[in-house]
Amino acid sequence: MADAHTDAPATVAIDITGLAVDSRRVVAGDLFFALEGSHADGRDYADAAIKSGAGAIVTDMRPLEGVLADVPIPVLQTEKPRAVLAAAAARFWPRQPGLTAAVTGTNGKTSTVEFLRQIWQRTTWDAVSIGTLGMQGIESRDMQGTMMGLAALTTPDAISLHGALNKLAGAGITHMAIEASSHGIEQCRLDGLNVHIAGFTNLSRDHLDHHPDMEAYFAAKSRLFTTLLMAGGTAVINIDDDYGARLAKMLRGPAKRDIVVLTIGETKGADFHIKAITPMDFGLEITVAHGSATMRIPVALAGRFQALNAITAAVMAHASGLPLHDSLGALAYVTGAEGRMQLVTGHPAGARVIIDYAHTPDALHAALTALRPEARGRLAVLFGAGGDRDPGKRPMMGKTAADLADLVYVTDDNPRSEAPEAIRRDILAGCPNAQEINDRAEAITTALAGLTADDVLLIAGKGHENFQLVGDETLPFSDASVARKAIIDMTAATSAGGAA
């Protein structure tokens, strides 16, 4: 980095005592990173950071203007300020769990890291998972009253992440599984992390509001394997996915590195060949062939895609040093992550109600396809689409719902700054015969009331979320809570009617 503050001496000693990217969190002695974001520019908050005592500022190579043109502290410019931030965070908080596994993909990241954590913990290894659900696995761990302070992001920022890892390592956590979003990878949030194992689940249309096209999206995901995965590490890749097959071929060919590449999938030739996924009363039985051995594994999960996630997690656990028999055997004891094909029980008619985070065309297709065999009656789906996100996927989701479900309810899902009715209109272009109910709670109640004994309802899009983003407001909302309350009310009404 070059010192770009012309009034500063050529060499200056700066006593930096902390790092910050949020001017509101700057304390005296902090190095403030003025980063350009999609919604705000950190340079606009440089004055506030200086007033709070920042010792120096790091920013990009754009010309210094406004406050930054004449400041009383050094301003350091670099081509890659986010990479510098990650490197600085890794220096400030150097301790990390001994083994880190990162999982990327459009869908399945949350389930895969959660399954991996559960497998590790079953072997008595001290493990956590980090991602969309926050941090899981430290409930019984004495963290000496400290809070991790991780933001509600799939992949936390570098300061929050390395600060948390430093505490976790100090508390004896040895294994960590983390979700690696394309945003997080591209923004260097995982730089400085010792990634020993990397997993790839799939790639389908999403985040094209951020990436210009699918090639850019794939390139962002690929960086986990071509750059961040340590030499000597292991890549575990689902080659049923076209992009996964391409990635595996790339890593074994043109982009060959000193890493081990293991492939999984129903595709013949996969190192871990899934020969059959059989629905059972308890969930699924997965038949896997590896080398000359064939294993049948019972799992209490729903959906073929969950079988792929489970096998990915088991192979990653094996790559971490667990005997294959133990890693695959542990799948019999894993439970689904919150909001991922989550069953809500008690419907008075006996219908099955499932909550899932599916919010892309591919994820919605996978969830509905997985649930179709369970619907001896009608398959219903309720969903919306997020505002300020890729609008192109909305009619695609509508068509997927119309093609695969018997009943379709279109409602709101985090409209943010967009007009909710405009979002619903985009979706309805793909499913013109759907029932439109703007209020999500009312839509859930209506959908539940229309179910009979052999029906299945998929409530899709929000999964584990306990909020609804409307304009600038974050309103309390949980699909599971609303569904449970509606079922309780329906049961009470049914009982009262019977008593009368």
Residues 186, 275 within the same domain: yes
pLDDT of the residue at 11:
55
CATH number of 366's domain: 3.90.190.20
Q: Tell whether 140 and 212 lie within a shared domain.
A: yes
The whole-number average pLDDT for the span 116-138 is 92
- Per-residue burial over 344-370, b if 16 or more Cβ lie within 10 Å, else e, is beebbbebbbbbbbbbbbbbbbbbbeb
- Tell me which residue range forms the domain holding 113: 90-333
Domain boundary among 49, 79, 109: 79
Residue 85 falls inside a structural domain:
no
Tell me if 387 is assigned to some domain. Answer: yes
Q: Are residues 380 and 282 in the same domain?
A: no
Q: Which amino acid is at 133?
A: L
Residues 202 and 253 in one domain: yes
Given a cut of 80, whether residue 59 has pLDDT beyond it is: yes
Q: Indicate if 58 and 115 belong to the same structural domain.
A: no
Same-domain status, 352 and 300: no
Q: The domain that contains 120 carries what CATH number?
A: 3.40.1190.10
State the pTM of this model: 0.78
Structural domains counted in the chain? 3
Look at residues 55, 79, 103 and tell me which one is the last residue of a structural domain. 79
Q: Is the pLDDT score of 147 beyond 50?
A: no
pLDDT at residue 3 is higher than 70: no
d(CA 160, CA 148): 8
Is 43 among the domain residues? yes
Residues 379-410 as b or e (16 or more Cβ within 10 Å = b): bbbbbbbbbebbbebbbbbbbbbbebbebbbb
Q: Alpha-carbon Rg of the chain, whole angstroms? A: 24
Q: Which of 22, 44, 79 is the last residue of a domain?
A: 79
Task: Assess whether 115 and 191 both reside in one domain.
Answer: yes
Here the tokens at position 418 are 């967009």
pLDDT of residue 7: 40
* CATH number for the domain that contains residue 75: 3.40.1390.10
Q: Rounded CA gap, 438 and 346, in Å? A: 26
CA distances from 477 to 151, 404, 444, 469, 481 (A): 19, 27, 12, 9, 8
Q: What is the pLDDT of residue 255?
A: 75
Is there a single domain that holds both residue 360 and residue 317? no
Residues 153, 302 within the same domain? yes
**Angle, helices 214-223/242-252, rounded to nearest 10 degrees:** 50
Mean pLDDT of the chain: 91
My answer on whether 191 and 211 are in the same domain is: yes
Largest CA-CA distance found in the chain, in angstroms, rounded: 89
Percentages helix, strand, coil for the chain (3-state, rounded to 5) are 35, 25, 40
252-275 pLDDT tens trace: 987 788 999 999 999 999 999 999
The encoded tokens of residue 316 equal 């990653």
DSSP code at position 42? G
| 405 and 363 part of one domain | yes
* Within-domain flag for 8: yes
Domain-embedded: residue 84: no
Residues 209 and 98 in one domain: yes
Q: Which residues pair with 356 in a beta bridge?
A: 460
Closest CA to 38 of 474, 389, 472: 389
**Which of 199-208, 383-392, 411-420 is predicted with the least confidence, judged by mean pLDDT?**
199-208
Give me the pLDDT at residue 373, please: 85
pLDDT at residue 342 above 90?
A: no
In this predicted structure, the answer to whether residue 496 has a pLDDT above a threshold of 90 is no
